[in-house]
Amino acid sequence: MKTLLLSLLLTFPMAAAAADAPAKAAAPDPNQACFDCHVASKPGEVGVRPAEFGKSVHASFGCTDCHADYQAPGPHELAPLTGADAALVARSEALKASTAPRAYLACGNCHAEVVEQVAASVHGKWAKGDAKVAGPTCASCHGSVHEIVKGVATPAPAGATFATGARAISERCEKCHADPAYVEKAGLKGDVVVTFHDSIHGRLVNTGSALAPACADCHGAAEKDGKGVLRPNAHKILAKTDPASPVAGKNRAGTCGRCHAGANDNFAKLVAHNDPAHSESKIPHFLHVVFSWLAALTLIFFAGHVALDLFAEIRHKVRMRKAGHGHDPAKESQFVQRFDLHQRAQHWLMLVGVILLGVTGWPLRGAGSPEAIETSRKILGLFGGPHGAALLHRIAAVMIIISGGYHLLYLVLHGARRTLAFSMLPGPRDVGEIRDNIRYMLAGGDRPAYGKYSYLEKFDYWAVFWGMIMMVGTGFVLWFPVFFATYAPHWLLTSAQIIHGEEATLALLFLFVVHFYNAHLKPSIFPMNWVWLTGKMSHAMLEEEHRGQYEELVEKKKDPHP
Amino acid sequence: MNRKTPSIIGAAVGLALFLAIALLPALLYGGYAGVLLAGGIFGTPVQPTFLVRSLIMFGMVMGALGVGSLFAVGGAVAGAAVGVLTTSVAPAKAATQETKA
């Protein structure tokens, strides 16, 4: 029995192999003779990787379809070239081209129309003479000629009249345009790739948007495909100095209008990627400098303040422990009402809105950094990608606008009833408290006896007014750019982009580092000050944090605690 | 158990989560914020001078502190919420068992 089973097990594979053998024998790989000598083991090596070639769009081709006139087996020589082809190869060799020009000529045998388009484009100029460097050939953008794969064109969304095109190809523009040595030699503009990645289009592309344009979408002449969808042609890239270029002069508004319906010349002046220092108006550059200084100095000052306060807190805690001062359960179990329900509701709306704005906005801003792109993709992926995050960002913006409106209404109503305390207004007392607190943090002694609000809380409060005006104001410009371009000067749009980004950096770092430390994380409060939720503060904390107010309460005998 | 304990545990869990998943992104984003600020202050392209490097380092520290604080505060809130739930559920269960007995 065992012998029978063993025989069967051995016989079936052998029989299957025997049945397969005639089929294999019937269709020998026509390229095998070439592969016997011309096999590459890794990318970039001369030769063919048969497995990769088998996956390519040209898998059904024989080697001699492109390498014409060869007779395998060799020896074989390259066929001599004449005329323009010979001149192109000679020029390419003289300019030390990194890709084979002969492949370009071979592609033209089947793709004559495309080769003609490339020859007429800015990328074909070098082949006609007077070039400082060799320009691209097919392989420069499509990769190894033996491994060209399909799928570079993005599918058009349903009902779209314009579709972003060869995204994968556009990424390859960077091979030359981000190479400083090549850029300098060719006399190209040096920072186009950096400024593109830093632009809103670049960041959206980096984080996986299928709608945002890459290089070829704006710089390539667009034509309608068989379904009537306008598609940019990456083979027809024109220099922006060429009057026919989609980004030249008057053509630019139409190019922007493919995605931004109603875009006018003013909108088109908002250069998609450019250093603000090179903007037509000096205002964006000036604001860029001012807001960068403002953000950096504010953060440095308050980070220093936090560090000093932490030092003073630890010193205070050690001294209290040494002196044997403990907690007073009576003071910890009695509370004063610090914020009413309206104030807390305003704060809840604001805190949820700001955190949402931060987590949906900063990953997009951070995607300008090549190192952070993957992280940004993952974070924005949690919200359904960059466009899902954008929707949530707008909802969060509406939340903080409601919070701001609610607060203003609250102030007006209290003002009308003459119950507005004005306790948030800065005054001369704050100047003395700043001086005393710095002295306390550096040299010890007693913390200033703050009233209801310390100078830090007043700064927090008024900074929100400033931040709301800046962020909401510029946010609206970015939300409705075409509308604002119709009525406002173009520098306003560029300035809005700059201010929104710089102010977001300042606001988020200030809130998460400085405000969170002062409100929750300093050793005397850690892990949480629940006043934001309950509106109540214990007498113990009031005495510690707002000794002036606590003493006033005791003096007025409003405090039930003696 | 101290009434602060659930919040402290929550903050610790938040910080541990931050160290596990968010420290590197926070450093990257903070560093990039530093690059952007340096670009505005010293001009672009940013050169690797001492001041620029210092600003980038400062950005990295602020990024890590900011995101770490967010995780710690979020963790403290979550911890407190869990603490409130467990303390309100436990007496209810005890009361039910007493009634049955």
What confidence category does residue A9 fall into, taking pLDDT thresholds of 50, 70 and 90? very low
Render pLDDT for A444-503 as a digit per residue (tens, 0 to 9): 888 899 999 999 999 999 999 999 999 999 999 999 999 999 999 888 998 999 999 999
pLDDT at residue A136 in the model: 86
Question: Residue with structure tokens 């319906």?
Answer: A261
Q: Is A501 in Cβ contact with B29 (below 8 Å)?
A: no
User: Rounded mean pLDDT of A124-153?
Assistant: 79
Contact (CB, 8 A) for A211 and A388: no
Per-residue model confidence (pLDDT) at position A154: 59
- Taking the Cβ of residue B55 and every Cβ of chain A, the question of whether any pair is shorter than 8 Å is answered with yes
Q: Which of B32, B38, B69 sits opposite A512 (nearest CB)?
A: B69
Cβ contact (<8 Å) for A509 and B63? yes
Q: Do A368 and B32 touch (CB under 8 A)?
A: yes
Instruction: Calculate the average pLDDT of chain A.
Output: 85
What are A279-284's contacts with CB under 8 Å, separation 24+?
Answer: A279/A491, A279/A494, A280/A490, A280/A491, A281/A489, A281/A490, A281/A491, A281/A494, A283/A491, A283/A495, A284/A491, A284/A494, A284/A495, A284/A498
Which of B33, B38, B62 lies nearest to residue A303, judging by beta carbons? B62
Query: d(Cα A207, Cα A11) in Å, to the nearest integer?
Result: 56
pLDDT tens per residue across span A346-355: 999 999 999 9
Residue A379, φ and ψ in degrees, nearest 5: -65, -45
* B32 Cβ under 8 Å from any chain A Cβ: yes
The band of B98, judged by pLDDT with boundaries at 50, 70 and 90, is low
Is the CA virtual torsion A399, A405, A411, A417 positive or negative?
A: negative
Shortest Cα distance from A457 to chain B (angstroms)?
18
Q: Residue B92 — pLDDT band, cuts 50, 70, 90?
A: low
Per-residue pLDDT band for A435 (boundaries 50, 70, 90) equals: very high
**Taken in order A108, A109, A113, A116, is the CA torsion positive or negative?**
positive
CB contact (8 A) between residue B25 and residue A516 = no
User: Residue ranges per domain, chain A?
Assistant: 151-274, 278-338+451-458+484-562
Q: Is the dihedral of CA B73, B77, B83, B86 positive or negative?
A: negative
B80 touches chain A (CB under 8 A): yes
Res A156 pLDDT > 70: no
H or E, element range at A259: none
**How confident is the model over A67-117, as pLDDT tens digits?**
876 665 566 777 777 887 888 888 887 777 777 777 778 888 899 998 889
Q: Compute φ and ψ for B43, nearest 5 degrees.
A: 90, 160
Cα separation, A23 vs A316, whole angstroms: 88
Give the residues across from A237 on adjacent strands: A220
Say which residues have a Cβ less than 8 Å from residue A505's Cβ, sequence separation at least 6. A295, A365, B33, B36, B37
Interchain contact, B76 vs A520, CB within 8 Å: yes
CA distance B41 to chain A (A): 5
Average pLDDT of A510-533? 93
Q: Is A97 exposed, middle or buried (0-12, 13-18, 19+ CB in 10 A)?
A: buried
Cα separation of B83 and A197, whole Å? 46
- Answer yes or no: do A527 and B79 touch at CB < 8 A: yes
Phi and psi torsions of A343, nearest 5°? -60, -40
Give the structural domain span for B21: 5-100
Q: Which among A355, A501, A528 has the least Cβ separation from residue B76?
A: A528
Q: How far is A408 from chain B (nearest CA, A)?
A: 28
- Residue corresponding to tokens 């704050």: A430
Integer angstrom CA distances of residue A274 from A196, A278, A532, A543: 8, 7, 44, 55
Residue-level pLDDT at B63: 96
A330 compared with A488, residue with greater pLDDT: A488
Q: What is the CA radius of gyration of chain B?
A: 22
Collect all residues of chain A within an 8 Å Cβ-Cβ radius of residue B72. Answer: 516, 521, 527
pLDDT at A167 (0 to 100): 64
Query: Any idea what DSSP says for residue A335?
Result: E
Of the ranges A48-52, A70-74, A222-226, B28-32, the best mean pLDDT one = B28-32
- Across the range A524-549, mean pLDDT stands at 91
* Residues A38 and A66 sit within 8 Å (Cβ to Cβ): no
This complex has an ipTM of 0.89
Tokens 């460097």 locate to: A133
How buried is residue A433: exposed, middle or buried, by Cβ count under 10 Å (0-12/13-18/19+)? Answer: buried
The pLDDT of residue A17 is above 50:
no
Q: How far apart are CA B92 and CA A63, in angstroms?
A: 81
Domain count, chain B: 1
CB contacts of B77 in chain A (<8 Å) are 528
Of B8, B58, B63, Cβ closest to residue A300: B58
Contacts with A375 from chain B: Cβ below 8 Å: 24-25, 28-29
